Amino acid sequence: MIILFSPSEGKQEGGNLPPLNPESLLFPHLYPKRLEVIEQYEKLTQNGSDEQLYELFGIKDTKEYERFRNPFVSMPTMKAIERYDGVAYDYLAYSSLGKDAQNYIDTTAILFSNLFGPIRAGDSIPDYKLKQGSAIGSFVPEKHYKEYFSSALDELIADQEILDLRAGFYDKFYTPSQPYVTLKFLKEGKVVSHWAKAYRGIVLREAAKHQISSLQELLAMNIDGLNVREILEIKKKKEIVYTIV
């Protein structure tokens, strides 16, 4: 099974792994295509105006801009799954999991970075800031990565089952070419949005703890606070609808 997962706007600073290089990320042979985006990002962060950086980062405090001006060649990295710091990652609580569960996430989950594109959860990345949906100079990251990385992802996934836990925006980076499973969460009959992030983190955590390898095993899991209400099939997408109890 392959699990697709969203990144987070928040990031942990620092790191103790070597700087970014072609072997840091999934698909080393496509690293030149990542560099096309990275080089534009570094050029803009180092030379852009405050107005341009606000559009890039989505933060108004100009003092924060200095944190993201350093070239990646001089910056340490850390695992992507540890770098991201948001609601889903809080509920995933990766650091509290055992080694087997962590290894499952490192190798099974593919994250969709707004800057680096599709990466394994265990890949190492530097600290960065890029507002979701922002263009970088002439690059629209989601279009770039969809064009150049979709075939590689299809080949990697092959005939494995896909659990897509991403927010809807990240369909713009990659749409699976084979059947896949998504989740929806209802509270008192209404779809939850913000707290869906928390439940996606919880589902990933439970999947890792149980080392699931199929949809059948996913459905067999007993997840506290969630009951399966129905399963909908729309073309190649199968949607599991959970009720929050």
**87: amino acid identity, one letter:** V
Q: Which residues contact 87 (CB under 8 A, 6 or more apart)?
A: 8, 194, 195, 197, 198, 201
Kindly report, residue by residue over 112-129, the tens digit of the pLDDT: 999 999 999 999 999 999
pLDDT in tens, 137-194: 888 999 999 999 999 999 999 999 999 999 999 999 999 999 999 999 999 999 998 8
Q: Which range marks the domain in which residue 7 is found?
A: 2-244
Q: How far apart are CA 239 and CA 244, in angstroms?
A: 16
**Tally of domains within the chain:** 1
Q: Is the pTM of this model over 0.85?
A: yes
